[in-house]
Amino acid sequence: MIQFQCDYSEGAHPRILERLVETNFEQTPGYGEDIYCRKAAGLIRNVCGAPDADVHFLVGGTQTNFTVISSILRPYQGVLCADTGHINVHETGAVEHGGHKVLALPSENGKLSAETARNAMIAHMEEDGPEHTVQPGMIYISFSTELGTVYTLAELEALAAVCREYDIPLFIDGARMGYGLASEGCDVTIKDIARLADVFYIGGTKQGALFGEAVVITNDSLKKDFRYFIKQNGGMLAKGRLLGIQFLALFEDGLYFSLSEHAVSLAHKLRAALKAKGYAFLVESPGNQQFPILGNELVKALSSEFGFSVWKNVDESHTAVRFCTSWATTPDAVDKLIEALP
Amino acid sequence: MIQFQCDYSEGAHPRILERLVETNFEQTPGYGEDIYCRKAAGLIRNVCGAPDADVHFLVGGTQTNFTVISSILRPYQGVLCADTGHINVHETGAVEHGGHKVLALPSENGKLSAETARNAMIAHMEEDGPEHTVQPGMIYISFSTELGTVYTLAELEALAAVCREYDIPLFIDGARMGYGLASEGCDVTIKDIARLADVFYIGGTKQGALFGEAVVITNDSLKKDFRYFIKQNGGMLAKGRLLGIQFLALFEDGLYFSLSEHAVSLAHKLRAALKAKGYAFLVESPGNQQFPILGNELVKALSSEFGFSVWKNVDESHTAVRFCTSWATTPDAVDKLIEALP
Amino acid sequence: MIQFQCDYSEGAHPRILERLVETNFEQTPGYGEDIYCRKAAGLIRNVCGAPDADVHFLVGGTQTNFTVISSILRPYQGVLCADTGHINVHETGAVEHGGHKVLALPSENGKLSAETARNAMIAHMEEDGPEHTVQPGMIYISFSTELGTVYTLAELEALAAVCREYDIPLFIDGARMGYGLASEGCDVTIKDIARLADVFYIGGTKQGALFGEAVVITNDSLKKDFRYFIKQNGGMLAKGRLLGIQFLALFEDGLYFSLSEHAVSLAHKLRAALKAKGYAFLVESPGNQQFPILGNELVKALSSEFGFSVWKNVDESHTAVRFCTSWATTPDAVDKLIEALP
Amino acid sequence: MIQFQCDYSEGAHPRILERLVETNFEQTPGYGEDIYCRKAAGLIRNVCGAPDADVHFLVGGTQTNFTVISSILRPYQGVLCADTGHINVHETGAVEHGGHKVLALPSENGKLSAETARNAMIAHMEEDGPEHTVQPGMIYISFSTELGTVYTLAELEALAAVCREYDIPLFIDGARMGYGLASEGCDVTIKDIARLADVFYIGGTKQGALFGEAVVITNDSLKKDFRYFIKQNGGMLAKGRLLGIQFLALFEDGLYFSLSEHAVSLAHKLRAALKAKGYAFLVESPGNQQFPILGNELVKALSSEFGFSVWKNVDESHTAVRFCTSWATTPDAVDKLIEALP
């Protein structure tokens, strides 16, 4: 079985494992206060062009989302979010468990528009008795989104402008940030993200690490006591250096970016081959996820040899599926898949 | 600098790293639904003599504590706990963040007695208007405790009897279970723990793994929907197999127990040497933590070469310190420490 | 200024005030354990045909909603609800503050259909990895709804059937239950509500009391320890008898129902007069709320003399408004309003 | 049966009922935005010498405590409190339900000393890794305390100084503030309380109202969006004017203070008579609660005619009891009690 199911089927890039082995018997302080975390934080500040940012390492995406959101909102505030957003649909209500409403808004291709967000702010303020409703206290978006799309720089600037206008922070979930940045036509850089977001994270789990998400806080007012939040929310790894070592390996010479490009280029190769064979697509996708439309019998036949997601019935005899490439996908695997498609 | 500071200064036992490297490019389903987690769960059920137990793998101790407690208590219930208990003093109020009061009770040497627990149950029920106070809904203890002591089998049986009498579960935090079981004079086996607790966990983080805690649920009524709790509380690792692989390595041939014995035997060696040199101790400690009383100048002198915890001022010129051995401590390190003590 | 703004502009029915004055210097136990609460509970059990129901008195609607919901759901569960539901839009996220997601579903005229609810249950169970999403744990509806509409008996039966099928409770918010029951064409009785709901409440605040909501729990499995929930959520009034005395006055000789009929009949009188004068309506409303469409200049003119809600722009020159009658509305007030409408 | 059980056995002072009757058919806006609430707030600001304070009216004490605390603390912070404090022992963990640890400290006669509070602040800051423990974020005290004692002005000044020193707010629970202010030897005025506290409340429920607590916020930084907190926590009464009307009656001509003095003077009368008859007391109590020590048979005999609390066994044959007077206690009732004591 060859997997195109998701981007966390394998372990980690071998260089990361090597580093873990090399450093295994070093004795370091716990809880992220070691030299590796400090070095990795420095590299990330540098690559983000954010010399004053605070950088913290957490274990997983859901944990990072509810920890960051918990650190920002007052109890009566909620988080504006695309209705397709991960925090709204795939985290078992973790944000609500922490006491906050996810204010889900209509979205297009997984993206929340500045206009929609602004209208939500205005609608709240125009309420007759706004205290009877949840006050929007921040905006959450994903880069890239759940549907593999990416915001343009203009779209991000517009969202950031709404945030500045209403004095609320912009939080960018970057669980797949690398794949987003490497996507076709992407005009956003990681420095743009650091400049426009008040807080964001760079995902490791889906981008070549065993696990780990690097939170970058650029807005000074959000920095205070963040380690308390990490600890209280179960994100403070005892052997915190495991996170530092992994991000060091990802960022010391650009591995994070080259792995992302690897995944995206293989996705594009697959896309080109599918187009050449005459297949249609559900959406035009610029990144590491492709959504071709296949005949139902082909779907069945393929699934004995390949892992992928059945996405959506298109008509009685056709189905859109998702093929996802990753840092670990081999050219050979893609060739085999192409070959198997008539 | 040689560390006797804690039991999580190093990475993992080399066999664990080997396994991670060997399996690195295998493709498995995420979220703990892989073959390694299944195998490790089977081994744990077996070693615990609990063929019907549910076994789940989480990342860290604080996370495991608040997740398990959240799965047991109703909103108006609290958790009975020694006042020295980890959830009461060292988890940044994570249990309260989840909505529950920690009902801290007086303890001796870190241990909660059955009598104290029973009295708390009675006191609540005898309240005139019990609904004005928090209802005790479970008992939490640690094995071994924060102070390195271990419950006797009789003490555990007595606590379990209180739980049965009042129909509340007994939850045992086993972050250092191995060191406890290997302690001098311990008459408790892991099968006893599985028999007496309704839910407990076997710590990996402090016992030779990179990270990871294995939750074992023996009480059927606590099993339902536990995976929802793991996910909601941020404990569901995307690459869940990392946990399965580690616990497989720890339990397939007794590594978990031999590493624990290794740590305890080195602690005993140190204790014997200290006694022979005439040092007094703060408490008689049976496990991997030793609390000798040293002159203040010696403490200062030692600290340039050795890492350890300053525990308590005994008098103007003497201080009790803690030396902690672990699965990774070398005989050579202990010899050097002994040598350095006049 | 004559108010048609809402149904809580005045104090209480005079008979209620008389009773409070009469009993003022009696000495009774606090917290709802007095003879008046017991008597009122008995009357309510009787009128509901629910001899085994538990009856509790709380102070306000939002408080009652989050207290009941908190008593039902496990932490990873959410409440199915019409997107227009009060808990979703007008309670400042109180349910989320208590840790639970409101699972808002599309509705028609404020009503949630059984089919929509069933589909939500099925969709959750068909998730690939349901533990990544919030589990629906109950259904919440209002009778009458936020829009003044009422469920038919068949609709309630169908919703209750979904609840039985999936073993989740049906909770009916009856803040305006009396007005609903008195609505034109309503084929539901309070006994039907008691038979079909697992828990519901009978609103006092909007129905002639100073304040107070009577929670009726018919499902045995929801009765345990409910007083703890009331206390923890701030709903346990020290002088609890104030609630018992009020509900006693409302239910000892049918005052609750006659006040409701009074309000609805005046609304119908207004409706008839408006129709006779040729006004159109936004919706056909059977109860104490009427939504006529008026010219914008008329809206402006009326608002100097009458209080009412501007509901919705219909076109450039017309607006739908809401006139709300209550137990306290006088025939004279309605006549004056009719007169003022050209 | 004559009640000395508590101070909420009766309804309200007749003048309050009169006002509710007089205003009953007035139509006012809901939710505390009416003229009566505004007037009452003005009177309270005046009597407190706090022209810039925000004043809000809530329904009950537990609700007020958790609402205020929720508005102050960040998620990782807790509230310093005497171990006997109401929030620690008699509110069913409502503060913890809201996510915060009550940091209970040793107290004497119900009072928390400035030294104890300061030491707790220091201890937290000196932690090696303070983020592993709950950060104290405010101080909560009661005036008068659960045991009927009152802080001296010097004690309050000292507590306020600790708060200023560590930049945390002082919150004073004044459920029985009037009785405290009227206590023998009390050198504190309500203006002192307003000057020293950052937020406090003036209790109505136990002091002559049907219900109601007036929250006074003097610290500007705590004022923002407080109405959201009231609503979210279920404290926003629909017919909010009921609260305004009551506090207006209590404060327009000093009724609040004269009722308090009435209760305390009757308690002193009782105390003098008991002393004259040779009874000993558990503690010297300056206010409306007296704790004489009676023979067990007398306790039994009295309880057929009088309601009171059995407080504590003193020895095998003697028991301390609590007699509580209130605004509603009659001189006749006290005379009868004195007579019944041999």
Q: A277: domain range?
A: 2-7+256-340
CA atoms within a 13 Å half-sphere pointing along the CA-CB vector of C273: 16
For an interface test with D, the pick among C100, C173, C201, C233 (most D C-beta atoms closer than 10 Å) comes out as: C233
Q: Does D127 score more than 90 pLDDT?
A: no
In angstroms, the CA D233 to CA C70 distance is 13
C-beta of residue C210 within 8 angstroms of C-beta of residue C3: no
What is the pLDDT, as a whole number, of residue B12? 97
CA distance C149 to chain A (A): 22
In angstroms, the CA D215 to CA D58 distance is 7
Q: Which of D242, D295, D213 is nearest to D32 (CA)?
A: D242
Q: Does A119 score more than 90 pLDDT?
A: yes
Confidence band, pLDDT 50/70/90 cuts, at residue A302: very high
C-beta of residue A205 within 8 angstroms of C-beta of residue A174: no
Indicate the residue of A89, A90, A134 with minimum beta-carbon distance to C93: A134
What is the pLDDT, as a whole number, of residue B283? 84
- Same domain membership, residue A264 and residue A122: no
- Same domain membership, residue C64 and residue C208: yes
Instruction: Detail the DSSP E strand segments found in D240-337.
Output: 289-290, 293-295, 306-307, 309-315, 318-324
Percent residues over pLDDT 70 in chain A: 100
Using CA atoms of B166, B168, B174, B175 in order, give the dihedral in degrees to the nearest 10: -130
pTM of the model: 0.97
Cβ neighbours around B166 below 10 Å, total: 18
CA distance A197 to chain B (A): 23
- The ipTM is 0.96
- Same domain membership, residue A84 and residue A138: yes
Which residue, A254, A288, A323, sits at the end of a domain?
A: A254
What is the pLDDT, as a whole number, of residue D26? 96
Task: Give the list of residues 6+ apart from residue B271 with CB closer than 8 angstroms, or none.
Answer: B281, B285, B290, B292
What is the pLDDT, as a whole number, of residue B254? 96
In angstroms, the CA C63 to CA C47 distance is 24
Handedness of CA D42, D44, D47, D52 (dihedral sign): negative
- Same domain membership, residue D262 and residue D249: no
Compute the count of residue pairs across chains A and D with CB atoms less than 8 Å apart: 44
Q: What are phi and psi of A139, to 5 degrees?
A: -115, 135
Q: Report CA Rg, chain D.
A: 21
D183-209 pLDDT, tens digit per residue, is 999 999 999 999 999 999 999 999 999
Q: How far apart are the first and last CA of chain D?
A: 19
- Same domain membership, residue B180 and residue B262: no
- Average confidence (pLDDT) over D98-105: 98
Show which subunits contact D, needing at least 3 CB pairs below 8 angstroms.
Answer: A, B, C
Q: Report CA Rg, chain B.
A: 21
In angstroms, the CA A337 to CA B269 distance is 61
Q: Do C227 and B99 touch (CB under 8 A)?
A: no
Tens-level pLDDT at each residue, chain C (342 residues): 899 998 889 999 999 999 999 999 999 999 999 999 999 999 999 999 999 999 999 999 999 999 999 999 999 999 999 999 999 999 999 999 999 999 999 999 999 999 999 999 999 998 888 999 999 999 999 999 988 899 999 999 999 999 999 999 999 999 999 999 999 999 999 999 999 999 999 999 999 999 999 999 999 999 999 999 999 999 999 999 999 999 999 999 999 999 999 999 999 999 999 999 999 998 888 999 999 999 999 999 999 999 999 988 899 999 999 999 999 999 999 999 999 999
What is the DSSP-derived secondary structure letter of residue B209?
Answer: S
Q: Does A278 score more than 90 pLDDT?
A: yes
Handedness of CA A50, A51, A56, A57 (dihedral sign): positive
- Same domain membership, residue C73 and residue C35: yes
Number of domains in chain B: 2
- Same domain membership, residue D230 and residue D282: no
Q: Does A90 score more than 90 pLDDT?
A: yes
Q: Which of A134, D174, D291, D105 is nearest to C104 (CA)?
A: A134
Q: Do C101 and A99 touch (CB under 8 A)?
A: no
What is the pLDDT, as a whole number, of residue D162? 98
Show which subunits contact A, needing at least 3 CB pairs below 8 angstroms.
Answer: B, C, D
C-beta of residue A266 within 8 angstroms of C-beta of residue A334: yes
CA distance C316 to chain D (A): 29
Handedness of CA D192, D196, D198, D201 (dihedral sign): negative
Indicate the residue of B70, B74, B231 with minimum beta-carbon distance to C132: B231
What is the pLDDT, as a whole number, of residue C312? 85
B199-212 pLDDT, tens digit per residue, is 999 999 999 999 99
Per run of 10 residues, the mean pLDDT along chain B (length 342 residues) is 90 97 96 97 98 98 98 98 97 98 96 98 91 98 93 98 98 97 97 98 97 98 98 98 98 97 96 96 90 95 93 92 95 96 92
Which residue is listed with tokens 């056709």? A318
Which residue, A220, A239, A254, sits at the end of a domain?
A: A254
C76 contacts in B (CB within 8 Å)?
Answer: 225, 228-229, 231-232
Indicate the residue of B131, B230, B231 with minimum beta-carbon distance to C228: B131
Which residue, D253, D282, D310, sits at the end of a domain?
A: D253
Which residue is listed with tokens 């004056």? C336
Q: Do D76 and A131 touch (CB under 8 A)?
A: no
What is the pLDDT, as a whole number, of residue C283? 84
Cross-strand pairs, B80: B103, B139
Q: Specify whether the backbone of A167 is left (phi greater than 0), alpha (psi in -120 to 50) or beta.
A: left
For B88, the closest chain D residue by CA position comes to D133
What is the DSSP-derived secondary structure letter of residue A255?
Answer: H
What mean pLDDT, rounded, does chain A reach? Answer: 96
- Same domain membership, residue A303 and residue A250: no
Q: Do A93 and C78 touch (CB under 8 A)?
A: yes
In angstroms, the CA D188 to CA D206 distance is 20
D146-182 pLDDT, tens digit per residue, is 888 999 999 999 999 999 999 999 999 999 999 999 9
B257-294 pLDDT, tens digit per residue, is 999 999 999 999 999 999 999 999 988 889 999 999 99
What is the pLDDT, as a whole number, of residue B242? 98
Tokens in use for A246?
């992994």
Task: Give the list of residues 6+ apart from residue A69 with CB closer than 8 angstroms, or none.
Answer: A79, A87, A95, A98, A100, A138, A140, A171
CA distance C19 to chain B (A): 27
Helix (H) or strand (E) holding A339: helix A331-340
What is the pLDDT, as a whole number, of residue A7? 87
Handedness of CA B254, B257, B263, B269 (dihedral sign): negative
Q: Specify whether the backbone of C105 is left (phi greater than 0), alpha (psi in -120 to 50) or beta.
A: beta
Strands A2-3 and A306-307: parallel
- Same domain membership, residue A268 and residue A209: no
A32-85 pLDDT, tens digit per residue, is 999 999 999 999 999 999 999 999 999 999 999 999 999 999 999 999 999 999
- Same domain membership, residue A295 and residue A198: no
What is the pLDDT, as a whole number, of residue B7? 87
Percent residues over pLDDT 90 in chain A: 94
The per-residue DSSP string of D190-242 comes to HHHHHHH-SEEEEE-TTTTSSS-EEEEE-SGGGTTTHHHHHHHTT---TTTHH
Percent residues over pLDDT 70 in chain D: 100
D100 contacts in B (CB within 8 Å)?
Answer: 93, 96-97
What is the pLDDT, as a whole number, of residue C34? 97
Q: Does D255 score more than 90 pLDDT?
A: yes
Handedness of CA D218, D221, D226, D232 (dihedral sign): negative
CA distance A133 to chain C (A): 4
Return the axis-axis angle of helices C14-22 and C241-251, rounded to nearest 10°. 130
CATH code: domain of residue C316:
3.90.1150.10
- Most distant CA pair in chain B, distance: 63
- Same domain membership, residue C86 and residue C234: yes
Tokens in use for B15?
């066999």
D96 contacts in A (CB within 8 Å)?
Answer: none
Q: Between the CA of residue C44 and those of B197, C49, C198, C220, what are the distances in Å?
A: 45, 8, 15, 17
CATH code: domain of residue C182:
3.40.640.10
Cross-strand pairs, B135: B77
Indicate the residue of A70, A132, A229 with minimum beta-carbon distance to D231: A132
Task: Give the list of residues 6+ apart from residue B202 with CB closer than 8 angstroms, or none.
Answer: B44, B174, B177, B178, B190, B213, B214, B216, B247, B256
- Average confidence (pLDDT) over D101-111: 96
Tokens in use for C299?
């809206």
A200-259 pLDDT, tens digit per residue, is 999 999 999 999 999 999 999 999 999 999 999 999 999 999 999 999 999 999 999 999
Q: Do B101 and D93 touch (CB under 8 A)?
A: yes
What is the pLDDT, as a whole number, of residue D223? 98
Strands D293-295 and D318-324: antiparallel
A50-60 pLDDT, tens digit per residue, is 999 999 999 99
CA atoms within a 13 Å half-sphere pointing along the CA-CB vector of D165: 14
C-beta of residue C193 within 8 angstroms of C-beta of residue C172: yes
B328 contacts in A (CB within 8 Å)?
Answer: 25
CA distance C9 to chain D (A): 5
- Same domain membership, residue B264 and residue B214: no
Helix (H) or strand (E) holding B56: strand B54-58
